[in-house]
Structure 1
Amino acid sequence: MMRTCRLLICITIAGYLSACTNSEQVADQRLADQSTMAVNWMQQSGEYPAIALQTFKFATYAYQQAVEKGARTPAVIVDLDETMIDNSAYQAWAAAQQVPFTDASWSQWTHAKQALAIPGAVEFARYIDSHGGTLFYVSNRAEQDRLATVENLKALGFPRVSGQTLLLNTSSSNKQARFDEIRAQGFQVVVYVGDNLNDFGQATWHKDNIQRRAFVMQNREKFGTEFFLLPNPSYGDWESGLSQGYSAMTPTQKLHVREQALRVWKPSH
């Protein structure tokens, strides 16, 4: 009798674990399906390159205005991933394989050196370089990926990629210390370009979306004059900002958070 009870308990537990595994696999598939549409838009729409070209055009104008107003040693700070270079092929691979981001697979992608230039990015960088400015590439790519990143950027035609101008993540994803370092060298930063609010300073770093939206409203005059943002619907701190502890959640829990965060129309009957 005891043996039978133990066997039934083992079968029940095994069935439960199997059901949980299947549930998480379904959730992984749904997460992948959701990201596929974002990647389709970035890769195939005409709207995405239009927005990118528009953003760099206005950023160029803002730089010109700053110089005309007497900015000395003007500098421009840009992010890399999904700002100057396009990694959507990596996102497409992750969606197809139904796997989450990992440092290992990201490093493998980085070393493949297959990122493309965002429309207008190379031209913008060359304009700043040829009109008295210094462009700083401030990225949260890892130091171990520096050489591959430099070679990828140079192959795409980005100017003056060097140890001075390419500042990677050596201790923290908070970019503020690197921004301060640039200013400490005597540069006047007149334009920032990014795809994440964290690309404009530490005010939104590790903050939830309520605080991130508040930052935007508090700095509304800087957007379009000093801060220039490109869209990135595939990933970013806006996603982890959906809920505390989001990054550590299971796929099922992430789906629930995403659905609960939606503002849903409720038709009257």
Structure 2
Amino acid sequence: MLRFVCLLIFACGLPHNLFAQETATPAVTQRSTDQGLDATLWMQTSVEHDVACTQSYRLAWMQVRKALRDPCWTAAVEQTAGYAGLPPAVILDLDETVINNGVFMGDLVRKDVSWNPSLWNTWVLSERGTAVPGAKEFLNQLRAHQIAIFFITNREAKHEAATVSNLSQMLGWQVSPEQVLLRAEKPEWTSNKSSRRAQVARCHRILLLVGDDFNDFVYQGKLSPQERIRQGRRYQNYWGRRWVILPNPVYGDWETALYHYDSQLPTAEKLQLKLDALTPRTDQ
């Protein structure tokens, strides 16, 4: 008993953090990039992400069925007349709309590196993208009803073969290169997707647009965050009816708008601009 009491007194007299040193999680070092840890984890691990995507695609199918019954229905602002008798089609973005690149984004966060074309090129050529929840089922429904499918993506033209192959493996049916319209595949096909939507609209009635960025639906250019919100309100009659947007908290024009679309800014400056964009309390 005396030995136990002595041991207890000895232990209580030790520095408070001595035992903690053996079990504490190693300190997180200061990171050199502004990659979003929480956003990427939400995308990779949360049921909420998967449910939100599945829900979006179920809504998309409901709206497609409505559109099929209304020959005056079009989702493309580029389509203004003479489309009622055209065969139906749906246009989708690819990355974070149909193809889930969460593994790639997670690698960037873990390695504390910023997105760059070389890393992205390696990822695309690996053909390891998986299906966004709900996408495969939705696309299979479109095929079963003989609705044409087009993917308008800002992946580069050099990625066509890898993208078509990845899609075909992922979906379980052969995607045609003609269905995938990539940036710079033609001289006039810039990051502005309007000319590609217009090409599809010449031969098809566009029932629905599906994407994860405002510019997947109508070209906005480099607007401020406040102006993007104002422009979004102009299209209230489209959201959830002719346009279905999927969640992407990891990257997009919403983020680059915060630092004036200048990806070359130092990380510290980007982070400061993001902090400055937060709405402060008004009761302080």
Distance 1:149 1:130 in 2: 23
Matched, 1:138 2:152: yes
Residue aligning to 2:52: 51
Residue aligning to 2:245: 229
In the TM superposition, structure 1's runs of 4+ consecutive aligned residues that sit over 4 Å from their partners are none
In structure 2, the CA distance between the partners of 1:27 and 1:36, relative to structure 1 (3 Å rule), is closer
Q: What percent identity do the matched residue pairs reach?
A: 29
Distance 1:113 1:244 in 2: 32
Distance 1:120 1:245 in 2: 31
Residue aligning to 1:244: 260
Per-residue deviation, residues 45-83 of structure 1 (Å, max 9, x unmatched)? 111111111100111011100111236411100000000
Matched, 1:194 2:211: yes
Name the amino acid aligned to 1:57.
R
Q: Report SS of the residue matched to 1:247.
A: coil
Distance 2:260 2:122 in 1: 29
| Preserved CA contact (<8 Å) 1:126 1:159 | no
1:206 Cα shift?
2.2
Residue aligning to 1:152: 166
Q: Report SS of the residue matched to 2:178.
A: coil
| Preserved CA contact (<8 Å) 2:259 2:270 | no
Distance 2:235 2:130 in 1: 31
Distance 2:144 2:94 in 1: 20
Runs of 5+ consecutive residues of structure 1 not aligned to the other structure: 1-24
| Preserved CA contact (<8 Å) 2:31 2:112 | no
Distance 1:60 1:238 in 2: 26
Distance 1:160 1:201 in 2: 29
1:248 Cα shift?
2.5
Residue 106 (structure 2) aligned to one of 47, 68, 92: 92
Equivalent residues in 2 for 1:1-269, closer than 5 Å: 26=30, 28-29=32-33, 31-32=34-35, 35-70=36-71, 72-157=86-171, 159=173, 161-170=175-184, 171-184=189-202, 186-202=203-219, 204-265=220-281, 267-268=283-284
Cα RMSD (Å): 1.7
Per-residue deviation, residues 161-204 of structure 1 (Å, max 9, x unmatched)? 212211011151111110011112x21111000000000021x2
Runs of 5+ consecutive residues of structure 2 not aligned to the other structure: 1-28, 72-83
Deviation larger for 63-72 or 47-56: 63-72
Q: Report SS of the residue matched to 1:224.
A: coil
| Preserved CA contact (<8 Å) 2:154 2:183 | yes
Name the amino acid aligned to 1:62.
Q
1:207 Cα shift?
2.0
Distance 2:233 2:127 in 1: 37
1:246 Cα shift?
3.2
In structure 2, the CA distance between the partners of 1:75 and 1:158, relative to structure 1 (3 Å rule), is farther
1:210 Cα shift?
1.8
Name the amino acid aligned to 1:163.
P
1:26 Cα shift?
4.5
| Preserved CA contact (<8 Å) 1:191 1:227 | yes
1:41 Cα shift?
0.5
Distance 1:133 1:160 in 2: 15
Alignment TM-score, normalising by the size of structure 1 = 0.84
In structure 2, the CA distance between the partners of 1:245 and 1:153, relative to structure 1 (3 Å rule), is closer
Q: How many positions carry a matched residue from both structures?
A: 239
Distance 2:145 2:109 in 1: 41
Distance 1:85 1:168 in 2: 15
